[in-house]
Amino acid sequence: MTLQYVTINATRDSLNTDGIHMGRSTGVNISDAIIKTGDDSLSIGDGSQHINVEKVTCGPGHGISVGSLGKYHNEEPVVGVTVKNCTLINTMNGIRVKTWPDSPASVATDLHFEDIIMNNVGNPILINQEYCPYDQCQAKVPSQVKISDVSFQGICSMSGTQYKSVSKEWGFTIVAYRFYQTKKRETENIGMKLNIAAISLLLLLTSVAEVSGDTYFDVTKYGAQADGKTDISQALLTAWEAACASPIVSRVVIPAGIYALGQVTIEGPCKAPINLIVKGTVRAPVDTSRFKPQAGWVAFQHLDQFTLSGYGVFDGQGQSVWGQKCSRTKYCNQLPINLRFNFLTNSIIKDITSKDSKQFHINVLGCRNITFFQVAITAPEDSQNTDGIHIGRSRGVNITHSTIQTGDDCVSIGDGSEQIDITKVNCGPGHGISVGSLGLYKNEAPVIGIRVKNCTLSDTTNGVRVKTYPSSPQGTATEMHFHDIVMNNVSNPIIIDQEYCPHNQCNLQVPSRVKLSNISFKNIRGTTSTELAVNLVCSKGAPCQKVELGNIDLKYTGPEGTASSQCKNVEATLWGTQQPKTCAQAA
C-alpha cells in the first residue's frame, strides 16, 4: 500500500490525533506527505513489517514513532522500518522507539532513520523503554521488548532541548533496560547495533532563539541606525560584549531595516551560548581601502554553541571589484571575504543570505561540528573568485538544504578537511562542487571523508570534481564519495583533474604527488553540455586507487555526437548503468 502526497492538518492541541497509525501491515510506503497534528505524525504499531517513510514533513506534532510496543500480550514483531529524507519542525519529539515497562516479550528490529532534518525539535533522537504516559506503570519491572539493529545516520538538527542522557556527548537519549545487557559500551546495553558516527554533535545544542529565560540585546538600543549610512560596527560590538559576558543564553538582534556595517570581528569565548539574529540587510563598504588585507568583512571566531540566524542578508557590494585580473596579480586575495568562521565549535549557521561578496562568500577555518542549514548564497555567474563556501582545516562540517548561485565553486574543500557532509544543496550557476585545489603549498594536511549526496547542479561549468596541481608536494585525499547527484546542463559533470593549472603557469611535465584513493561516483544522472562527461585524469606519479563508478547516466545535449569519457592513470570498478561508457581502456 502506498500513501503519497497526503496532507493531514489539525491543531497542535488536538488530543490523540495521530496522523497515520499502522499495525499488522507489510509493505506500507508513505512519501511526499505533510502532516500537522496534535499527536504522533506517524505511529508504527506491532506487526508492522517493511515500512518505508520518505520525504515527509512533520510538525507540529509528536514526531515519528515506532510504538508504543509491549502494552498487550501476543504482540507481533516489528521488522524493517526505514525513515529517510524527512523534515521535522517544532515537534515535541523527533524520531523515537518507545516500549512500555513491565511488558510481555516481543521484538523490534531492523529500524533505520537516515538523512533527517530537525528544526527546533524536542528530544530529536529517542529510544525510551520506560515509556509511561500516565505514570501508572511498574517502572522497576523492565520491558521485555527486544530492540536490535537500529541506526541513526545523516541527522542534523537545530534542537530545542538540552539533554539528560546516558549519551549526552552524542546529543541523543537512550533509556534502555539492562534486561538484555551486554558487555559492550553503555549505548549498546540492549544488544542493539547503533550507527551513530554520522549524527552531528549539533543535536546537543539548544536553539537559542527559542529558549525561554534568555537575555536580549537589540543593537538599536546601543546606537545602531537603520538608515543605510551610519556604520553600526561599534553598536554591534558593544551589544556583543554585553551578551558574551552574560552567564545565560543570549540573543543579539539586528532588527529589520538596512544597515551599514564596516569590517568587524565578533569574538569569544563567551560564558554561554549566543544567537546573533540578523533580520535586516547589512551592507559592506564599497571602498576596498576600508578593509585590512586578507581579512573578512564580518569574522566570527573562538566561539562555542553559537547560532547565526534571522533570515537577514549580508550584502558585500562587490560589483566594482569583480573585473580585476586575478591571474597576474594578488589583488583578489586581498579582497574581503563576506563571512569568516574561524575556530568555531558546535555551531549553526541557518536562514541567512550572503550576497555579492567581493571575494569568497563564506570561509570556514579550524572549525569543529558546524552546520550550515538553509543558507542562500547569490552572486552573478561572472563574479570572479566568489566561492560560495570554502572549507579548510575543519572537521564535521555539514552543509544542507542550501542554495548557492555564484561565479566560482559553490563549495570548495581545502586541505585538512575531514568528515564533510554536503546534502540537498542546489548549485548553479557556478563552478560546481570541488575537493581542492590541493597541492599548491607545502605541508598541506590530508583530506579525509567527503560526502556529497542528494545535490542538484544546474548550468555549472563543472560538476563534482577533485583537483590537484601538477609538480606538487606530497599529500593525500581519501574517502571521497559523490552519490545521488542530478546534473542539469552541466559542463564536465564528473572530473578528477591532477593536472589542474588555472593560469597556465605550471610544470605539467612533473606529476602531482597528491595521492587520491577511495573515490566513488554513484547514481549520477542528467544532462551534460560538454561531450566529455566523465574525465578522470590522475597522476602518473601517484595513480588513483580504488575508484568506483556505478549507475552513471549522463546525456549530451550538444548538436551532434554522444557523451564520452577519458581515463588516465586510474583503474576503476564499474557497475550498473555506464552512460557514457567509462574507463573501458583505463590503464
> What amino acid positions are annotated as catalytic residues?
62, 431
Query: How many whole angstroms separate alpha carbon 501 and alpha carbon 516?
Result: 18
Query: Sign of dihedral through CA atoms 111, 113, 118, 124?
Result: positive
Query: How many whole angstroms separate alpha carbon 90 and alpha carbon 38?
Result: 12
Query: How many whole angstroms separate alpha carbon 157 and alpha carbon 204?
Result: 9
CA atoms within 13 A on the CB side of 453: 13
| DSSP strand pairing (514-528 vs 475-490) | parallel
Query: How many whole angstroms separate alpha carbon 124 and alpha carbon 120?
Result: 9
Instruction: Assess contact for 141 and 101: CB atoms under 8 A.
Output: yes
| The 3-state secondary structure of 321-359, one letter per residue | HCCCCCCCCCHHHHCCEEEEEEEEEEEEEECCEEECCCC
CA 190 to chain centroid? 30
Whole-angstrom Cα Rg for the chain: 26
Task: Please state, as a whole number, how many other Cβ atoms lie within 10 Å of the Cβ of residue 294.
Answer: 12
SS3 of 311, please?
Answer: coil
Residue 266: C-alpha distances to residues 260, 340, 359, 441 (Å): 16, 10, 20, 29
Query: How many whole angstroms separate alpha carbon 553 and alpha carbon 262?
Result: 48
CA 44 to chain centroid? 28
Instruction: Assess contact for 117 and 86: CB atoms under 8 A.
Output: yes
SS3 of 42, please?
Answer: strand
Residue (of 26, 25, 67, 61) closest to 41 by Cα position: 61
Instruction: Assess contact for 65 and 84: CB atoms under 8 A.
Output: no
Query: How many whole angstroms separate alpha carbon 449 and alpha carbon 128?
Result: 32
The burial class, CB within 10 Å (0-12 / 13-18 / 19+), for 201 is middle
- Percentage helix, strand, coil for the chain under 3-state DSSP, each rounded to 5: 5, 50, 45
The burial class, CB within 10 Å (0-12 / 13-18 / 19+), for 584 is exposed
Residue 481: C-alpha distances to residues 246, 534, 567 (Å): 43, 15, 18
Instruction: Assess contact for 41 and 69: CB atoms under 8 A.
Output: no
* Alpha-carbon dihedral 340, 343, 346, 347, rounded to 10 degrees: -20
